[in-house]
């Protein structure tokens, strides 16, 4: 029997039928790669190469000594063609290294990362959370010493509509996911390992259970967004709440994405750096699918490989529609946290609404909020730039899942306003 859902949340149309059965396919090496030096939360990397340098697949081209960071590696053998600021999917211009790949590539070969313990290897491999947050994984593997982490939870929910990249990783490489789970548990001394998968992926659940080793549980979860958020997963398995302002480790748990676990297994067992990832391309494209893509590949090239647009295009989203930003420019690179490209038609998006709309006090956003917040109040005070009052309603606890905006009948930009309040509070009232 599937575990009961958490309080709140929503169940939007899943829209996974286009790609859930599509096996992962390698995208050919593009003509150029634009590789951002900031593909993770934390300090950006400093460029370690110069224009004209020859680089090898797996060679470090960006690094920094900051604890919350992860090095960047070249995904190909090739030549550094340019270094400079380039636009990314999040709308920021960051330092990027443009590499022109050699005509002949061996994607099975790579410069191995230095041998070391699990944490050192994971950091050297540049692994970050592949579910979208892109938090450096080596930092997660070093919980505070005063917090006793007993349970490792792998997130296989993939609750965002349209996305199926994690689904296919679980179906096609379940043994890598399980191996990564074991490595993580041994590294932090956890006694329990559980992989949570929403019940709408029975083939992934079956594959993982067949691959599971002693001590690894595979649990079916009720399909409900945002079941994959780490605080909701911790509640599902431990019935424990993460204290306000604390890390998940304070509740005795460590949460990693299933694709991250597979990448950790590759790093530890094969000494392989993170240079590619699986991306779902779906919606109004001629050939929807799940593609293994070299980091730095331009979204425009990926869409072209997926057959180009099919029908009218209203919006192109980087990631899932609940949390992903709409792209204003398709010449932006795929990064470590890029889980999908969703192309929506004009008939699939709501018309734009100018400015903030009046709140009708219906309470739907509060009922749906999985963090027990009052989104309409945070948004109201954020709209007034009244950060002091907004802070009373705990905007920092928002997990930015977007269910408030999804639930609002007047289509107020609740999530965007809450993000403003959250940023202001975290920066101690900075003027925005």
Per-residue confidence (pLDDT) for residue 113, from 0 to 100: 97
Helices 165-172, 202-211: axis angle to 10 degrees equals: 40
Residue 256 sits in the same domain as residue 285: no
Between the alpha carbon of residue 164 and those of residues 142, 176, 403, the distances in Å are 30, 17, 20
Residue 280 sits in the same domain as residue 231: no
Residue 394 sits in the same domain as residue 336: no
Query: Are 322 and 11 in contact, with CB atoms under 8 Å apart?
Result: no
- pLDDT tens-place values along the chain, 432 residues long: 566 678 899 999 999 999 999 999 999 999 999 999 999 989 999 999 999 999 999 999 999 999 999 999 999 999 999 999 999 998 899 999 999 999 999 999 999 999 899 999 999 999 999 998 899 999 999 988 888 899 999 999 999 999 999 999 999 999 999 999 999 999 999 999 999 999 999 999 999 999 998 899 999 999 999 999 999 999 999 999 888 878 889 899 999 999 999 999 999 999 999 999 999 999 999 999 999 999 999 999 999 999 999 988 999 999 999 999 999 999 999 999 999 999 999 999 877 766 667 899 999 999 999 999 999 999 999 999 999 999 999 999 999 999 999 999 998 999 999 999 999 998 874 444
Q: Is residue 92 part of a domain?
A: yes
Q: Which one of 270, 288, 317 terminates a domain?
A: 270
Phi, psi of 316 (to 5 degrees): -115, 125
Per-residue confidence (pLDDT) for residue 244, from 0 to 100: 82
Residue 107 sits in the same domain as residue 204: no
Q: How many CB atoms lie within 10 A of CB 170?
A: 28
Q: Is residue 50 part of a domain?
A: yes
DSSP string for 98-111: EEEE-SS--TT--P
Give me the count of residues in the chain.
432
Q: Is residue 339 part of a domain?
A: yes
Q: What is the pTM of this model?
A: 0.94
Per-residue confidence (pLDDT) for residue 1, from 0 to 100: 57
Q: Which one of 318, 347, 376 terminates a domain?
A: 347
Question: Any idea what the CATH number is for the domain that residue 63 is in?
Answer: 3.10.20.600
Number of domains in the chain: 3
Q: Is residue 7 part of a domain?
A: no
Cis peptide before 226 (omega within 30 of 0): yes
Dist. CA 296–CA 276, nearest whole Å? 9
Range(s) of the domain holding residue 283:
29-111+273-347
36: Cβ contacts below 8 Å, ≥ 6 apart:
72, 86, 88, 94, 95, 96, 296, 333, 335
Question: Any idea what DSSP says for residue 351?
Answer: P
């Amino acid at each position: 029997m599937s575990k009961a859902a958490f309080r709140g949340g929503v169940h939007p149309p899943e829209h996974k039928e286009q790609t859930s059965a599509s096996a992962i396919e390698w995208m050919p090496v593009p003509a150029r790669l634009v590789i951002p030096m900031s593909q993770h939360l934390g300090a950006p990397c400093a460029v370690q190469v110069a224009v004209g340098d020859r680089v090898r697949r797996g060679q470090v081209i960006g690094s920094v000594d900051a604890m919350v960071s992860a090095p960047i590696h070249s995904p190909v053998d090739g030549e550094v063609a340019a270094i400079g600021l380039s636009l990314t999917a999040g709308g920021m211009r960051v330092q990027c290294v443009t590499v022109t790949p050699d005509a002949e590539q061996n994607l099975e070969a790579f410069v191995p990362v230095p041998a070391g313990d699990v944490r050192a290897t994971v950091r050297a491999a540049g692994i970050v959370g592949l579910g979208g947050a892109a938090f450096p994984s080596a930092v997660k593997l070093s919980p505070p010493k005063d917090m006793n982490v007993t349970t490792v939870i792998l997130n296989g929910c993939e609750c965002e509509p349209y996305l199926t990249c994690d689904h296919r990783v679980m179906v096609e490489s379940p043994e890598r996911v399980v191996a990564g789970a074991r490595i993580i548990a041994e590294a932090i001394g956890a006694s329990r390992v559980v992989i949570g998968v929403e019940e709408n992926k029975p083939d992934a659940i079956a594959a993982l259970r067949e691959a599971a080793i002693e001590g690894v549980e595979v649990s079916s979860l009720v399909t409900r967004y945002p079941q994959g958020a780490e605080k909701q997963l911790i509640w599902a398995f431990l019935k424990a709440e993460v204290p306000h302002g604390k890390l998940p480790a304070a509740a005795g748990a460590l949460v990693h994405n299933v694709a991250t676990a597979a990448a950790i297994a590759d790093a530890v067992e094969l000494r392989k750096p993170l240079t590619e990832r699986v991306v779902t391309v779906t919606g109004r494209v001629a050939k929807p699918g799940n593609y293994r893509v070299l980091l730095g590949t331009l979204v425009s090239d990926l869409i072209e490989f997926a057959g180009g647009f099919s029908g009218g295009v209203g919006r192109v989203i980087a990631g899932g529609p609940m949390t992903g930003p709409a792209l204003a420019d398709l010449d932006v690179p795929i990064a470590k946290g890029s889980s999908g490209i969703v192309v929506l038609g004009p008939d699939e998006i709501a018309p734009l609404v100018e400015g903030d709309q009046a709140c009708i006090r219906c309470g739907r956003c509060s009922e749906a909020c999985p963090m027990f917040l009052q989104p309409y109040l945070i948004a109201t005070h954020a709209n007034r730039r009244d950060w002091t009052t907004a802070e009373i309603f705990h905007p920092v606890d928002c997990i930015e899942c977007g269910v408030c905006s999804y639930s609002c009948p007047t289509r107020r930009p609740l999530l965007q306003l809450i993000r403003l309040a959250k940023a202001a509070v975290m920066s101690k009232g900075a003027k925005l």
